[in-house]
């Protein structure tokens, strides 16, 4: 997993991927020819309007879908070529997700939800729930440990979602419009939280958004239009934050 040149090598390498969807008799090209490298520890924003192909790109990166052509390598592993089981075990060890609609399981408590990635790995109940409680306290939900998702506000749910994404200490966390359903105050809290976690553990974040304000948090902004990368630039954060 970690070859000697791990530091110099990009954690995510996207090589010439193309994604087509058959719709009826026609073929829609969602991604044309994407090449992209993301370094370890980077917060990378995939920015684009709706229909630009940014979600499709995220799906390819996270191994949710197989590209029509090309390869996606994470830490050197060609995840676009793994089978279901290899992918599952790869996700357990290396990937985390933050979803727009939080996606906590409704019948599990906050603690159980956060502990879920460890559950799939076979970590015993007491151990994984202790870890989950610790992390929930860190995201400020110490008073919501045994609450069900429906008993929590959107912001609280998303904080639990973040705890869940980071509990297994993944190399890469994918965040798909993580604040899309939240108000602006909560958005700032959530984004700060994601960035803090990422810095603390030297983790890579792939942030998908259509919101320029969000993009401001990123180290690198990749802009997509009609399935093509039109710009890929390092972000000057100070300017972005105070400029608006």
Partner 1 sequence: MQKKDLLRICLQNLMRRRSRTFLTVLGVLIGCCSIVIMVSLGIGMKETQEKLLAEMGDLTIITVSPPQNGKGKVKLDDALVKRLHNMSGVVGVSPKQSLEAESIRILSGTGNRYVADWTSVVGMDTDQMEQLGYRIINGTTVKHSGDIIIGEFLAYSFKDTLRPEGRNMIDRWAGELDENGKPAELPAPYLDPLKSTLTLEITTESGTIKYPVKPVGSTKEDYSKGYETSEGIIMSLTDLRKLLDKIQGPKKKKLPYNSVVVKVSSIDRVADVEQEIKAMGYVTESMESIRKPMEKEARQKQMMLGGLGAISLFVAALGITNTMIMSISERTREIGIMKALGCYVSDVRIMFLAEAGAIGLIGGVIGCVISFLASVIINLVSIGLSPENIPAAILGGENINRVSVIPPWLLLFAIVFSVLIGLGSGYYPANKAVQIPALEAIKSE
* Among 84, 126, 185, 238, contact with partner 1 (rule: CB under 8 A): 84
* Among 11, 17, 59, 160, contact with partner 1 (rule: CB under 8 A): 59
- Contact flags string 176-195 toward partner 1, x per CB under 8 A: x-------------------
Q: With contact defined as beta carbons under 8 Å apart, do 165 and 96 qualify?
A: yes
Nearest Cα neighbor of 165 from 142, 141, 198, 143 is 198
Structure tokens at 78: 């060609």
Handedness of CA 15, 45, 100, 197 (dihedral sign): positive
Residues 135, 202: Cα–Cα separation, whole Å: 17
- Contact flags string 147-166 toward partner 1, x per CB under 8 A: -----------------x--
Question: Is position 91 an interface residue for partner 1 (rule: CB under 8 A)?
Answer: yes
Question: Is position 54 an interface residue for partner 1 (rule: CB under 8 A)?
Answer: no
Sheet holding 26-38, edge to edge: 26-38, 12-23, 69-74, 77-78
CB 7 to partner 1: min, Å: 26
Question: Is position 58 an interface residue for partner 1 (rule: CB under 8 A)?
Answer: yes
Beta carbon nearer to partner 1, 105 or 230: 105
* Among 100, 111, 156, 204, contact with partner 1 (rule: CB under 8 A): 100
Residues 6+ apart with CB under 8 A from 89: none
């Amino acid at each position: 997993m970690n070859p000697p040149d791990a530091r110099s090598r990009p954690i995510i390498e996207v090589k010439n991927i193309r994604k087509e969807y058959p719709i009826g008799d026609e073929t829609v090209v969602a991604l044309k020819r994407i090449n992209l490298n993301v370094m370890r520890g980077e917060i990378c924003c995939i920015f684009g309007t709706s229909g630009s192909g940014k979600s499709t790109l995220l799906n390819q990166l996270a191994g949710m879908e197989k590209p029509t052509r090309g390869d996606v390598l994470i830490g050197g592993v060609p995840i676009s070529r793994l089978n279901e089981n290899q992918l599952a075990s790869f996700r357990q060890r290396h990937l985390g997700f933050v979803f727009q609609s939080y996606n906590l399981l409704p019948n599990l408590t906050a603690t159980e939800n956060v502990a879920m990635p460890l559950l799939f790995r076979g970590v015993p109940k007491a151990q994984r729930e202790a870890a989950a409680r610790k992390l929930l306290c860190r995201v400020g939900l110490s008073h919501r440990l045994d609450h069900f998702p429906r008993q929590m506000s959107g912001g609280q749910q998303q904080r639990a979602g973040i705890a869940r994404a980071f509990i297994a200490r993944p190399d890469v966390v994918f965040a798909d419009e993580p604040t899309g359903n939240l108000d602006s105050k909560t958005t700032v809290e959530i984004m700060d939280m994601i960035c803090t976690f990422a810095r603390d553990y030297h983790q890579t974040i792939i942030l998908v958004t259509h919101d320029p304000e969000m993009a401001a948090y990123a180290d690198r902004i990749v802009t997509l239009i009609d399935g093509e990368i039109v710009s890929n630039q390092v972000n000057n954060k100070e300017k972005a934050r105070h400029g608006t």
